[in-house]
């Protein structure tokens, strides 16, 4: 059963189309992350789910009910904001109990419930503190406790972790996962941080320019992006543009901007002369020292030295140690490709070395000039 169902939801502010024709189902008990760049309409979508914003057109269902015209306080949702929105002159306990008071719960019951919630987010002992005395992470916990206290079916979290530093954010990600397991609510979580989305989400909805571009499980959107925007937004990659020269039946060949050929899968949709962009993710490429000049030459012809792979050779321009991996910038005929080498990979590669970059041809994604994906392998 879907807990939240958005049908053709749009919102304009005057001339500006903030959200355009968004249709989305969020399943009961699911955590769905809305991910996208600043200004793409994430908060506006959340605000329409919560009732803080009225759609220009379209319908919002929560449970089985059409709540499009219902005010926020009649919806079974609770929202956590980026800036926590705690009352500075109330104690931590009063902050958490506030929503319960609004719902007419008696005083002792409110206090008990608020204490229990603070306990659950590991903030017991802070009941009588002022929120102004708390750290960012602690304020976030209190804000979460306040939202959970009213026992909503749906929790809406709008960039709840983006004001925290990296370490604290990662800690809170784990905690949110725990809370989520424990409370079994339906969550919609907005972020523009890819790592956060990948850590938390059952499914990710990627938005761009007011539209929902793709919805899917994290590995699905990462490995099978719908278009170039999704591929680019979900992680670092090398885009290499070129023109299809011809096909030998097994592969097509793309003459790239750095004047070497890259083998690409033959598909019914690639015609000779077509302009295409290849995406080569740095972590899908292997890097190896290339000392034998003859091997190097063979790469620039079409000799099929490494099975279903593809590759190019070049010179290491710079090497950056990044902790768990090493990033090399490799110059290929004046163009730069960056590649990620695992620190466990034994081959020592230094600046100035001639190297071979290789990859599995199935890891190559192809995009047309308008950003759409070329699929359909023959």
**Tokens found for residue 334:** 């004046």
Beta carbon nearer to ligand ATP, 41 or 160: 41
Residue 97, burial from CB neighbour count under 10 angstroms (0-12, 13-18, 19+): buried
Site for ligand ATP in 295-324 (CB under 6 A): none
308's contact among ligand ATP, Mg ion, none, with CB below 5 to 8 A by partner kind, is none
DSSP 97-142: HHHHHHTT--HHHHHHHHHHHHHHTT-TT-TTS-GGGS-HHHHHHH
In the complex, the smallest distance separating the C-beta of residue 125 from ligand ATP, rounded to whole angstroms, is 33
Site for ligand ATP in 183-242 (CB under 6 A): 192
The H or E element that residue 164 is part of is: none
In the complex, the smallest distance separating the C-beta of residue 6 from Mg ion, rounded to whole angstroms, is 17
Decide: helix, strand or coil at residue 208: strand
Q: Does the protein bind ligand ATP through residue 42 (CB under 6 A)?
A: yes
Residues touching Mg ion, count (CB under 5 A): 1
Beta carbon nearer to ligand ATP, 44 or 227: 44
Name the one range near ligand ATP by CB under 6 A: 36-44, 58-66, 181-189, 272-280: 36-44
CA dihedral 98, 102, 103, 104 (to 10 degrees): 100
Q: How far is CA 356 from CA 238, 297, 321, in A?
A: 16, 11, 19
In the complex, the smallest distance separating the C-beta of residue 55 from ligand ATP, rounded to whole angstroms, is 13
C-alpha 140 chain-centroid distance: 21
Q: Does the protein bind ligand ATP through residue 40 (CB under 6 A)?
A: yes
Site for ligand ATP in 164-193 (CB under 6 A): 192
In the complex, the smallest distance separating the C-beta of residue 13 from ligand ATP, rounded to whole angstroms, is 3
Residue window 14-33: x/- pattern of binding to ligand ATP, with contact defined by CB under 6 A: --x-x---------------
Name the one range near ligand ATP by CB under 6 A: 34-42, 119-127, 144-152, 179-187: 34-42
Site for Mg ion in 37-66 (CB under 5 A): 43
| Cα 145 to Cα 70: distance, rounded to the nearest angstrom | 25
Q: Does the protein bind ligand ATP through residue 41 (CB under 6 A)?
A: yes
Q: Does the protein bind ligand ATP through residue 263 (CB under 6 A)?
A: no
In the complex, the smallest distance separating the C-beta of residue 149 from ligand ATP, rounded to whole angstroms, is 25
Q: 78 CB contacts (<8 Å, ≥6 apart)?
A: 99, 147, 148, 150, 152, 154, 155, 156
18's contact among Mg ion, ligand ATP, none, with CB below 5 to 8 A by partner kind, is ligand ATP
Name the one range near ligand ATP by CB under 6 A: 12-20, 108-116, 134-142, 311-319: 12-20
Beta carbon nearer to Mg ion, 43 or 227: 43
Return the residue of 13, 171, 308, 333 that touches ligand ATP, per CB under 6 A: 13
DSSP 26-46: EETT-EEEEE--TTSSHHHHH
40's contact among Mg ion, ligand ATP, none, with CB below 5 to 8 A by partner kind, is ligand ATP
Helix axes 107-120, 92-102, angle to 10 degrees: 120
Of 357, 352, 364, nearest to 296 by C-alpha is 357
Residue 326 in contact with residue 343, Cβ under 8 Å?
yes
Binding site for ligand ATP (CB under 6 A): 13, 16, 18, 36, 38-44, 192
């Amino acid at each position: 059963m879907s807990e939240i169902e958005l049908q053709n939801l749009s919102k304009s502010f005057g001339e500006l189309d903030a959200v355009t024709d968004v249709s989305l189902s969020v399943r009961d008990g699911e955590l769905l992350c809305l991910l996208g760049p600043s200004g793409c309409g994430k908060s506006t979508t959340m605000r329409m789910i919560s009732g803080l914003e009225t759609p220009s057109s379209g319908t919002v269902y929560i449970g089985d009910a059409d709540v499009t015209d219902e005010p926020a306080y009649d919806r079974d949702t609770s929202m956590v904001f980026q800036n926590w929105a705690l009352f500075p002159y109330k104690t931590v306990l009063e902050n958490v109990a506030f929503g319960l008071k609004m719902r007419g719960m008696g005083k002792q019951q409110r206090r008990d419930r608020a204490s229990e919630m603070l306990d659950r987010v590991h903030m017991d002992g802070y009941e009588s503190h002022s929120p102004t005395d708390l750290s960012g992470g602690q304020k976030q916990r209190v804000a979460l406790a306040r939202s959970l206290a009213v026992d909503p079916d749906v929790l809406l979290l709008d960039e709840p972790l983006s004001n925290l530093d990296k370490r604290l954010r990662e800690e809170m990600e784990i905690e949110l996962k725990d809370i989520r397991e424990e409370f079994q609510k339906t969550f919609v979580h907005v972020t523009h941080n890819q790592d956060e989305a990948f850590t938390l989400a059952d499914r990710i909805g990627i938005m761009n320019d007011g539209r929902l571009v793709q919805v899917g499980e994290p590995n699905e959107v990462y490995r099978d992006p719908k278009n170039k925007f999704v591929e680019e937004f979900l992680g670092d990659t090398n885009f290499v543009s070129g023109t299809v020269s011809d096909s030998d039946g097994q592969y097509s060949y793309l003459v790239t901007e750095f004047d070497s050929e890259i083998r690409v899968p033959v598909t019914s949709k690639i015609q000779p002369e077509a302009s295409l962009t290849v995406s080569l993710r740095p972590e899908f490429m292997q890097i190896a020292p290339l000392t034998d000049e003859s091997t190097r030459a063979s790469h620039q012809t079409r000799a099929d030295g490494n099975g279903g792979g593809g590759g190019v050779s070049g010179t290491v321009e710079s090497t950056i140690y990044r902790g768990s991996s090493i990033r090399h910038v490799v110059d290929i005929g004046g163009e730069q490709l960056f590649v990620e080498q695992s620190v466990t990979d034994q081959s020592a590669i230094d600046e100035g070395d001639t190297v071979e970059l290789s990859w599995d041809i199935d890891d190559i994604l192809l995009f047309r000039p308008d950003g759409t994906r070329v699929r359909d392998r023959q």
